[in-house]
Amino acid sequence: MSHSRLTPEEQAQAELAQTEALGPRTARTMVLVFLLIVGLIIPSQWIYEATTGRSFQLLDLFGTPYRAADLAAFEDAVEDASFARTAVQPRLQAWFSQFGGFGNTKTVLGREGWLYYEPGVSHLAGSDPFSPEHLNRRQLAGQRNPDPRPAIQAFHEDLAALGIELILLPIPDKASVHPEFLTRRQTQPFPDPALQRLTDWAEERGIQVLSVEEELFAERSENGTAYLAQDTHWTPVAMERVARFVSQAVILDNPPARTWQQEAQEAIRVGDLVDMLQLVDHQKVFRPEQIRINQIQDEEGQPWDTRANAPVLLLGDSFTNIFHLAEMGWGESAGFGAHLAAALGTDLKQIAINGGGSDATRIELSRMRQGLRNVQTVVWQFSARDLSHGAWPVVRVSLREAEEEDPEETTGETADEHIQIRGRILIGAPTPSLAAPYENARGAFLLEVVSAEGPRHPEVGEEILLQIPLMVERRLRPATRWREGQEISIAVQRGVPSEWSGRELLDETFIFDDRTIYWGLE
Amino acid sequence: MVFSTHFFLFVFLPCVLAVYYLSPMRWRAVVLTGFSYFFYSWTNPWWVVLMATSTVIDYVAGRVIAKGGGAVAIPGEEPVLEIGGHRSRQQKIALAVSIAANLGMLGFFKYAGFLAINANAVAGFLGLSDSMIPVLEVALPVGISFYTFQSMSYTIDVYRGRAPGMRDFSAFACYVALFPQLVAGPIVRYNSVADQLRVRTHTAEKFARGIAMFSLGMSKKILIANPMGHIADASFAAGALNPIDAWYGIMGYALQIYFDFSAYSDMAIGLALMFGFVFPKNFDSPYRADSITDFWRRWHISLSTWLRDYLYIPLGGNRVGPSRTYVNLMIVMLLGGLWHGASWNFVIWGGIHGGMLAFERSQGRDSPYRRLPRPVRIVITFLIVCVAWVFFRADDLPGAMSYLGSMFGLSNTSAGTDLISGVTATPYHLAMFVIALLVVWTMPQSWDYTRRLTPRRAVICLVALVAAILVMWTQTANPFLYFQF
């Protein structure tokens, strides 16, 4: 029977028997090399873990619930812990970046050392975020609250009921202000159509939207750049310009007068987009950028900080935190909030959470009983790309009666007493990505208290909110292995430490109402 | 669990190879079955219940059919039923139960929501809003489209007399669950592995050929398919595109789906060889096809032959006159499209191919098209296939039409449109795009390349594997496209 009349299966058998030029020695050598490649990684990983005092990652399988999501997380953890991967990935990524012009899923490489944040680019190049098709696709992908409009409307109504003015402050993406380093086809800055649609919609409903695109375009035109080359965010000069612009739109009734002074300082580091490439620590592909910031100080020379009873409340994300939050590496107390306060000549209260412009800041505000006390104007800063990618839950806010002094009300202060809690996890937190824009992240877990000891401890059976570090300097913490249904024992204190209050918050269930926040002590 | 991941390569595969080769020969099918169930349960532990149910039903149905009378004794082999012979009512019922059970499972998990949505749409159109059907949101078990077809082919072949019934349940369970081809094929006919389930050789040459196939598959997936996927994903996520970017994006997708799927098949065939099984190749340089008819001789061969043998031929094939032949082609391709997913997009994709198959048949062998130079025919075929891929890739029908509009310059682009080239046209992506085209149009298929496995080729394969592993460690997500089917 000729080959042409054989079934594919018969043909395969016949062809297999005709494997040519494969001598026994070649075959055995090939088998040996292959078995060494696939067989030695894990034993060498065990040796590495044993000699460095780390736990054996594979043994965690026995403590992992046999559920799809948990097993997938376990797989990721095994790969993340691999010393071979850790050794190879940064070096190979550096090679890709240097010679291939290729970043990763978060960082897009432009020309002349410029980097861009991929979600920002995809927002600008993508479809209308307000279109039914776009919203439907996001919902099918699992996003429960893709549409910003109900969230903005509800927030505006709640604030209006309290006599508080709302100002929306969307910050355009870098690629719309500086497209020229990303593609040669677009050399001039251009307005983001989504922002115009947002403005049209909001103005019909009496909601004020401040467009800062023209200010940033003017900054670029006058001074060459409005954004840092390697970072997602604006330059200090551009930020200060926007702060002055915004201050002209804020109208206050008899605000407390404050005098602020400035001190020039230097800051030097590589941008966050370089961090997202996860290169080796002493990489030479990208040189640090040096900038000058103006730290805002009070009359006594103390660096500016948020004030509880300020007439202006600023909700913001990393655009607000940059130059303010020390851990971002670009200085301290020189950020948007500080300069807005200085421009206004009054106090300002700030809730700024990296990555939380569309949701986390309002959620944090909603937990505060007196968060809106004395507030006349709320400036809600978020990133334009959040219109396409952010979560926009409807969060109701109000001014409630103050109870006993609650640490969470005074942003960043915690009670000193330690409480020992044993609790069952009802709702877990997602695992942060090592390629995330920020190197530190915290998570929120909903816990049912099984037992508790210590001063002002929660009651047995009470549901509490536990926040805890999930990622520190791009290293995952043990809490990332916690799963729903699991019982944990941990020491906690009430309130979130100040150094963590601005860091990214990973929160699976967005609305927590009247639950006390405890901070897990590792 | 995905083949091209750290966990599979360095944890699962070494474990299963070690336990398999340390086990006595008579236990190896059981070992392989156990590891295959573990492999499948990793994605969702509950899905193994479905697969086990399908296995038991088809095993019992196969036994009922095989023992139901009409068997022809073959010396040294299991008896088979007489081809074309009489079948008892019991045998017919057993076959019907097997087909109903498999199609029922497939229908429920894959099509129930789609049918309900469309029924509701019709009801709404007719003003029958009170008669709406609740739309269940059911997770689609990975691989169900493949193993149900594979399992059904067993009972059908036993009924037709083309294969003997399997006595050994563990061997049959191994056939259904065999992890190399479980979740994304190739669809392996029982007849082709029946003997191998009982007796198969394990030689260094076979294992080495398996390594070569696996290595080439791994490198195709990691080094080519994934970067092409990046181009395609960015292009399809964008709003309106200019024609160059749109064609670049769809060609990126064409390359992604080919390299992704053929890579999986290569790895599956390679893994099977490591365990002594010989599977047929599933692709034969499909983008070198010079007609759609030729394309379907080269693309997803195991599915197209399954549809031919179990659907097209029973419908009459091409023996029932031209008009009916065209109808049969259309039915097969529409259902083939629907097999890929419960969406009108897939039906349209199938319809385009069915229409082209019917058209080509109607033109005969002396059509003006056949007189064009072969390279021109190949390019035309490739472009038609790319247009059809738009429906395959787009999220929905409006998305597909929008993308087609971009391809033909009918979209309203904006200033942001041009930014997409900054993401998709990096030196790396452009280089991989060119390399992908060169591989597609100039290099031999993996199966053909490994037929002559010289030491030099062996080194190339292993180097490709190592390169793929290194790059794998820089990539975050790595699923195979055909897992969604």
**Which residues in chain A are contacts of B1 at CB distance < 8 A?**
75
**Which residues in chain A are contacts of B421 at CB distance < 8 A?**
183, 185
Could you write out the DSSP letters of every residue in A205-257?
A: TT-EE---HHHHHHHHHHHS-SB-TTSSSB-HHHHHHHHHHHHTT---SSPPP
3-class SS at A127? coil
**Which residues in chain A are contacts of B461 at CB distance < 8 A?**
30
Tell which wins on pLDDT, B412 or A152. A152
The greatest distance separating any two alpha carbons of chain A, rounded to the nearest whole angstrom, comes to 99
The beta-carbon neighbor of B278 closest among A7, A13, A101 is: A13
pLDDT of residue A19: 57
pLDDT of residue B231: 95
Dist. CA A203–CA A197, nearest whole Å: 10
Q: What is the DSSP letter of B69?
A: S
pLDDT of residue A513: 58
Cβ-Cβ contacts under 8 Å for B220 (sequence gap 6 or more) = B259, B260, B262, B263, B266, B446
Token readout for A89 is: 């990935």
Which has the closest alpha carbon to B477: A474, A266, A72?
A72
A34–B239 CB contact, under 8 Å: no
Most A CBs within 10 A among B207, B423, B435, B471, hence the mutation to make, goes to B423
**Which residues in chain A are contacts of B484 at CB distance < 8 A?**
none
Token readout for B370 is: 């056949």
Which position among B6, B86, B230, B340 bears the catalytic label? B340
Q: What is the DSSP letter of B166?
A: P
pLDDT of residue B393: 94
Token readout for B479 is: 């699923």
A93–B474 CB contact, under 8 Å: yes
**Cβ pair B443, B460 in contact under 8 A:** no
Most A CBs within 10 A among B17, B274, B419, B420, hence the mutation to make, goes to B419
Reported confidence tier of residue B367, pLDDT bands at 50, 70, 90:
confident
Please state the separation of Cα B141 from the chain's center in Å: 15
Point out the residues of chain A with pLDDT beneath 70. Answer: 1-21, 401-416, 435, 507-514
Cis before residue B186, ω within 30 degrees of 0?
yes
Tens-digit pLDDT profile for residues B434-479: 999 999 999 999 988 988 888 899 999 999 999 999 999 888 666 6
Which runs of E-coded beta strand occur in A353-417? 377-383
Interface of B with A in 264-323 (CB under 8 A): 273, 278-281, 301-302, 305
The answer, for B201 touching chain A at a CB cutoff of 8 Å, is no
CA distance B89 to chain A (A): 31
Most A CBs within 10 A among B269, B473, B478, B484, hence the mutation to make, goes to B473
Tell which wins on pLDDT, B167 or B245. B245
Other beta carbons within 10 angstroms of residue A259's beta carbon come to 8
Tens-digit pLDDT profile for residues B15-49: 999 999 999 988 998 999 999 999 999 988 888 89
CB pairs under 8 A between A and B: 212
CA distance B431 to chain A (A): 9
Q: pTM for the full model?
A: 0.86
The beta-carbon neighbor of B280 closest among A8, A27, A118 is: A8
**Cβ pair B151, B143 in contact under 8 A:** no
pLDDT of residue B306: 87
Dist. CA B137–CA B113, nearest whole Å: 7
**Cβ pair A447, A426 in contact under 8 A:** yes
**Cβ pair A435, A104 in contact under 8 A:** yes
Dist. CA A424–CA B221, nearest whole Å: 42
**Cβ pair A492, A407 in contact under 8 A:** no
Dist. CA A472–CA A452, nearest whole Å: 27
- Degrees (nearest 5) of the Cα angle A184, B237, B435? 65
**Which residues in chain B are contacts of A114 at CB distance < 8 A?**
none
Tens-digit pLDDT profile for residues B152-176: 889 998 998 888 888 889 889 999 9
CA distance A28 to chain B (A): 6
Other beta carbons within 10 angstroms of residue A307's beta carbon come to 18
Which has the closest alpha carbon to A359: A120, A200, A147?
A147
User: Is residue B340 among the annotated active site residues?
Assistant: yes
Count of helix runs (H) and strand runs (E) in chain A: 17, 16
Dist. CA B59–CA B170, nearest whole Å: 10
Percent of chain B with pLDDT over 70: 95
Token readout for A360 is: 């986390």
Q: Kindly give the interhelix angle for B455-472 and A83-95, rounded to the nearest 10 degrees.
A: 90
Dist. CA B6–CA A496, nearest whole Å: 37
Instruction: Provide the β-strand partners of residue A491.
Output: A420, A521
Q: What is the DSSP letter of B139?
A: P
Which has the closest alpha carbon to A66: B130, B168, B63, B38?
B38
The beta-carbon neighbor of A58 closest among B11, B45, B205 is: B11
B10–A122 CB contact, under 8 Å: no
Instruction: Provide the β-strand partners of residue A424.
Output: A448, A487
Q: What is the CA radius of gyration of chain B?
A: 23
**Cβ pair B264, B221 in contact under 8 A:** yes
pLDDT of residue A509: 60
Amino acid type, B56: V
Q: Residue A487 is inside which H or E element, if any?
A: strand A487-494
Dist. CA B94–CA B64, nearest whole Å: 7
A105–B6 CB contact, under 8 Å: no
Tell me the three-class secondary structure of A21-67, residue by residue: CCCHHHHHHHHHHHHHHHHCHHHHHHHHHHHCCCCCHHHHHHHCCCC
Could you write out the DSSP letters of every residue in A467-483?
A: EEEEEETTEE-GGGG--
pLDDT of residue A402: 60
Backbone angles phi, psi at A346, to 5 degrees: -150, -175
Query: What number is the ipTM of this complex?
Result: 0.88
- Degrees (nearest 5) of the Cα angle B220, B224, B229? 120
Which runs of E-coded beta strand occur in A64-159? 107-109, 115-117
Residue located via tokens 């007439």: A311
Backbone angles phi, psi at A295, to 5 degrees: -75, 130
Instruction: Provide the β-strand partners of residue A116.
Output: A108
pLDDT of residue A322: 96
The answer, for B218 touching chain A at a CB cutoff of 8 Å, is no
3-class SS at A292? strand
Other beta carbons within 10 angstroms of residue B417's beta carbon come to 23
pLDDT of residue A414: 53
CA distance A393 to chain B (A): 23
Please state the separation of Cα A443 from the chain's center in Å: 11
Cβ-Cβ contacts under 8 Å for A285 (sequence gap 6 or more) = A94, A97, A98, A279
Backbone angles phi, psi at B382, to 5 degrees: -60, -40
Q: What is the DSSP letter of A97?
A: I
The beta-carbon neighbor of B7 closest among A79, A89, A128 is: A79
Other beta carbons within 10 angstroms of residue B318's beta carbon come to 14
Dist. CA B6–CA A86, nearest whole Å: 12
The dihedral built from the CA positions of residue A451, A456, A462 and A468, taken in this order, carries a sign that is negative
Other beta carbons within 10 angstroms of residue B373's beta carbon come to 9
Could you write out the DSSP letters of every residue in B225-263?
A: IHHHHHHHHHHHHBSS--HHHHHHHHHHHHHHHHHHHHH
